[in-house]
Homo-oligomer: A and B are copies of this chain.
Amino acid sequence: MRQSQLFTKSLKQVPSDETSLNAQLLIQAGFIDKLFSGVYTLLPLGLRVIKKIENVIREEINNIDGQEVYMPALHPLQNYIQTGRQDIDVLFNTELKGGSKLVLGQSHEEVVVPLMQKHIHSYKDLPTKVYQFQTKFRNELRAKSGILRGREFMMKDLYSFHLDEEDLNEYYKLVQKAYFRIFKRCGILGSTYLTFASGGSFSQFSHEFQTLCVAGEDNIYVCDKCNLAINEEIIDVQSDCPNCKTKKLIKHKSIEVGNIFKLKNKFSASFDFQVTNQNGEQSDVIMGCYGIGLGRLMGTVVEISNDKEGIIWPKEIAPFNVHIILINQDNESVKVRGEEIYQNLLDMKIDVLYDDRLDSRPGEKFSLADKIGCTKRIIVSKKNIEKGLVEIKNRATGEVEFVNIDEIVQKLQL
């Protein structure tokens, strides 16, 4: 994309009520805009990152047999009365003109269960797994963590349906592995721990994926040896490592980037969702649910991967992999070479942002490029072009290389 065509600009001022680092960095570089606390617009750069995260998640969930659907945001309150969740704290309420009470989906168990009930009748229809990328609405009293805790945010929610707990347990392990692959591809695996958390009244534990970060709202106790952690909320019932039993756990602030939960028959029982089993008897469908908030994941990456100049994106979710910056644009051969390089990279299907703006000084261009944080920067200048070279800089390491123009593509090593 030509940067001269991008309507967003580097903003010198972020809103004065924006205290979170992630939103400050994202707003000033033009990734997001704040409508009000906890509610943000994704601008072109931000939408690109979210779409890349979405695609990573989609690939990994398709690999474990997820079928993608898209459920509504408007839910009948009646469905929540049926599960006893009509009074949960974060519901937004509204109503139809005729007076029917609605809530905005804060999760989708109340919709997915009656839906699947229409299609699943026998053990032969199980297991089945459906997921979606859909907006959730949560009426948080305070929303001061930028895109880490939104009142409106995009979530991947996966629901699995099984004949028995054994089958659920098996799938639950597959999801754990898929989640680790997702967090690896999004560049946060190194500081992300599988964390034991409360399982509610019907399961001993649930599992969270917690990423160490000072901006986190959670506290976890980490066993460095086993790469496991325990959420503070259950430290009274579990105070040692569930694997090696050591009591040497280290407390950290952290962000919950994902969670997985054995719902068992909690929601199927509410809706009387049963199947005929192999013996011709009716039995409750056994469920699991598995969430990842896309904005929170993006915000976590920003919180843990930045420097004083701006954001440093992991390559798989960078808004663009390559950022070409022209300087000395009044020079004809710089302009011609710049265009050539841009077209070559486009032809190679490389995601490239091309700073062709005429009204910006080099210093401004470099500063905005650091804020945006693409993986590699190619600087096309008069001095280097005359030697047949360009400068390639790695955003994460700061490493600089001078590369022959003909060898740019192989040197990018994306």
Interface set of A (CB-CB < 8 Å, partner B): 5-9, 11, 30, 33, 35-36, 39-44, 47, 50, 65, 67-76, 92-94, 96-98, 100, 102, 104, 111, 115-116, 118-120, 124-125, 128, 130, 135, 137, 139-141, 151-152, 359
Contacts and interface: CB of A to CB of B under 8 A. Distances in A.
Given A30-B119, A74-B151, A104-B104, 8 more contacts: A35-B72, A41-B69, A41-B71, A42-B70, A43-B69, A44-B67, A73-B137, A98-B141
Within the oligomer, what is the number of copies of this chain? 2
A129 to B, nearest CB: 9
Contact of A115 (B39, B41, B97): B41
Contacts of A74: 35, 39, 92, 137, 151-152
A73 B139 CA distance: 13
Given A69-B44, A70-B50, A124 B39 contact: no
Given A5-B67, A130-B7, A135-B135, A76 B43 contact: no
A151 B72 CA distance: 10
Nearest to A42: B70
Contact of A96 (B35, B98, B139): B139
B152 A67 contact: no
Contact of A92 (B94, B98, B111, B141): B94
A33 to B, nearest CB: 5
Contacts of A116: 7
A36 B5 contact: no
Nearest to A48: B68
Nearest to A150: B72
A62 to B, nearest CB: 10
A9 B119 contact: yes
A72 B143 CA distance: 15
Q: Which of A69, A73, A115, A130 has the most CB of B within 10 A?
A: A69
Contacts of A141: 97-98
A351 to B, nearest CB: 14
Given A7-B130, A96-B139, A152 B41 contact: no
Contacts of A135: 73, 135
Contacts of A44: 67-69
A151 B135 CA distance: 16
Contacts of A36: 76, 100
Contacts of A130: 7
A152 B8 CA distance: 30
> Which 3 interchain pairs have the tightest Cβ spacing?
A42-B70, A94-B94, A7-B128
Contacts of A118: 11, 33
Contacts of A96: 139, 151
A13 to B, nearest CB: 10
A67 to B, nearest CB: 5
Contacts of A30: 119
Contacts of A69: 41-44, 47
B35 A119 contact: no
A68 B47 contact: yes
B70 A111 contact: no
Contacts of A50: 70
A70 B98 contact: no
A93 B102 CA distance: 11
Given A33-B118, A74-B151, A135-B73, A125 B7 contact: yes
